[in-house]
Amino acid sequence: MRVSLAWKWVVASLLIESLMLTLMVMKNVDQLKINLSTQTNIRLDEQKILLKSALVAPLVQMDYATIHAILNETKNIQTVDYLVVVDNQNNCISSVGWNGCSKLPPTEVDPFSEKSLKDQRFDTNIPITLFSQSLGKVYLGLSTKYYVQAKKEMITRSIVIALIELILSAILLIAISKWIIKNLVKLTQSADAIAHGDYAQRINLGDSKEIFELQESFNLMAKNIEKNIIDLKYLNKKEKKLFNELKSQIEKNQEQDIMIKHQSRMVIIGEMLNNIAHQWRQPLSAITVQMSSLKLRKELNLLEENEIENTSDSIMKYANYLSKTIDDFRDYAKDYSVKKKYFNIETSFTKALDIVSASLENNFITLNIVPCEDELVVDGVINELSQIFINILNNSKDILIENKVKEKIIEVKFLKEDNQIIITIHDNAGGIQDNIIDKIFDPYFTTKHKSQGTGIGLYMSAKIIHEHFAGKILVKNENIEFEKTTYKGAKFFIILPI
């Protein structure tokens, strides 16, 4: 169980006060003892002088009746308990208040010793002398009753005063603590209300200086909390809004990415069909020519022996070639999503050439390849890199045809530097205009007609190089020399780390 602060405070204060009062009573009793002992000694000295002067003469004259009368007179003093007079031989002469002369009283003791206080009397003696000659002694018993009584009275009075003081203090302390605690309770209630969400909570404690300062600090704190909570709520709302916007943007981007991938696939298929058409053109026309020649020669009866067989062999060869072309393209398309492995870059380029070479040849484009002496190996999907080569070669082919360049050249170089492989593809189609050169890697950027380009070829190429090969792809307009003539053209750099 938790004890209230007020009670702790009251009990501690009362304990301290009791301790102080006890110390005070003890000190008073001590002081009383000192005062009384001084008084006692003074009175004793007076008594000594009086008794001495009164007893000297009767002792010299051995006047026992007078001695007895003096003792009786002295015994009337309230504080005197007994008196015994002895001569210089210690023989008892007279005694008052003492049980005869059978036994002499004890010698001097401390008036405030335990024994004196217990017997309520202390014993002392006064030597009676004349010209330094001892005449005898007076044994004296003085009562300590009045001291014990005074002490008792003092202690009782002190206790009563202390009790009254303690009760009054307790009442005062409880009242003060109640008053302080009242404010603390108010503070606690307000803090509690704030903790439970009532941020508009403020307190009014009163106008004494410290309490007022406390109230001011509390209200300032509450105000700041309220402000911060409002700010936080606002920020939270804003953050949520931003998060939702970001989420929907990411979703949009993902959708766009999927769409671009899909479109890119369509472009690849379209390009393949285009390339198949190119590769088929020559064997198909050869088949047509041979068939029509065979038909004509049959009509003219000019057919020689084995000619049908020879022609059908030749047609079979072409048909096999056509079928192989289809297989090549199908394998290429099938291999597209195989897992990553180390492959030779020049092999990947050859794969690209299998697809585009026919189309390049049919458009009279000279391909100049400068291989590298070192073996160039990278980790990744071989067909992904082939696809990038196809994209760049097709772009060069398109622009060479579009610009009607007479001597059409594409130069491909493979280089190995410290820790990277650089492949450059350079054409002589005139280069890329300065105002679009920064945009050609953007998705859907194209200068071609809708039916000819989607503008995702270079975007996808850069994305694959960056994300799958940790490399980069750059472009520059650079002059190219061919058979002593200088042409202007675009030069693409594919940089792959090894």
Q: Which residue is nearest to ligand ATP (CB)?
A: 457
The torsion angles phi and psi of 482, rounded to 5 degrees, stand at -150, 120
- Helices and strands: H and E segment counts in the chain: 9, 11
Residue 325 in contact with ligand ATP, rule: CB under 6 A? no
Give the nearer residue to ligand ATP in terms of CB position, either 186 or 413: 413
Q: Which is nearer to Mg ion, 421 or 456 (CB)?
A: 456
Write the CB contacts of 120 (distance below 8 Å, at least 6 apart in sequence).
143, 144, 145, 148
Q: If binding is defined by CB under 6 A, does position 429 make contact with ligand ATP? A: yes
> Which member of 59, 71, 205, 267 binds ligand ATP (CB under 6 A)?
267
Q: Which does 446 bind (CB under 5 to 8 A by kind): ligand ATP, Mg ion, none?
A: ligand ATP
3-state secondary structure of 376: coil
- Number of residues forming the site for Mg ion (CB under 5 A): 2
Q: Nearest distance from residue 457's CB to Mg ion, in Å? A: 3
Structure tokens at 299: 């009509």
CB burial class (10 A; 0-12, 13-18, 19+) of residue 4?
exposed
Residue type (1 letter), 415 = L
| Contact region with Mg ion (CB under 5 A), list: 47-55, 327-335, 387-395, 418-426 | 387-395
Q: Smallest distance, Å, CB 467 to ligand ATP? A: 17
Residue 457 within binding range of Mg ion, rule CB under 5 A: yes
With respect to Mg ion, which residue has the nearer C-beta, 55 or 365?
365
Coil, helix or strand at residue 87: strand
> How far apart are alpha carbons 391 and 265 in whole angstroms?
12
Buried b (16+ CB within 10 A) or exposed e, 415-428: eeeeeebbbbbbbb
Task: State the DSSP string of 19-77.
Answer: HHHHHHHHHHHHHHHHHHHHHHHHHHHHHHHHHHHHHHHHHHHT-HHHHHHHHHHHHTS
State the DSSP code for 98: S
Query: How many residues comprise the chain?
Result: 498
Q: Give the contact letters, 407-446, x = binds to Mg ion (CB under 5 A), - = no.
A: ----------------------------------------
Q: Round to whole Å and give the CA distance between 62 and 56.
A: 10
Task: Determine the Cα–Cα distance for residues 170 and 16; give it in Å rounded to an integer.
Answer: 12
Nearest CB to ligand ATP, comparing residues 123 and 427? 427
With binding defined as CB under 6 A, does residue 445 bind ligand ATP?
Answer: yes
State which of residues 94, 201, 386, 396 lies at the interface with ligand ATP (CB under 6 A): 396
Beta-bridge partners for 128: 136
The answer to whether residues 6 and 177 touch, using CB atoms and an 8 Å cutoff, is: yes
For ligand ATP, the closer of residues 70 and 409 by Cβ is: 409
Contact between 105 and ligand ATP by CB under 6 A: the answer reads no
For Mg ion, the closer of residues 215 and 395 by Cβ is 395
Among 144, 348, 395, 461, binds Mg ion (CB under 5 A): 395
Residue 427 binds which entry of ligand ATP, Mg ion, none, with Cβ cut-offs from 5 to 8 Å by kind? ligand ATP
Give residues 458-487 in contact with ligand ATP (rule: CB under 6 A).
458-459
453 makes contact with ligand ATP (CB under 6 A): yes
| Choice from 126, 457, 465, 471 touching ligand ATP (CB under 6 A) | 457
Query: How far apart are the two ends of the chain, measured CA to CA in Å?
Result: 73
Stretch that binds ligand ATP, among 8-16, 75-83, 243-251, 391-399 (CB under 6 A): 391-399
Antiparallel, parallel or unpaired: β 485-497 and 420-427: antiparallel
Nearer to ligand ATP, 245 or 438 (CB): 438
Beta carbon nearer to Mg ion, 83 or 390: 390
Q: Residues interacting with ligand ATP, by CB under 6 A? A: 267, 391, 395-396, 399, 427, 429, 432, 440, 445-448, 453-459, 490
Q: Residues interacting with Mg ion, by CB under 5 A? A: 395, 457
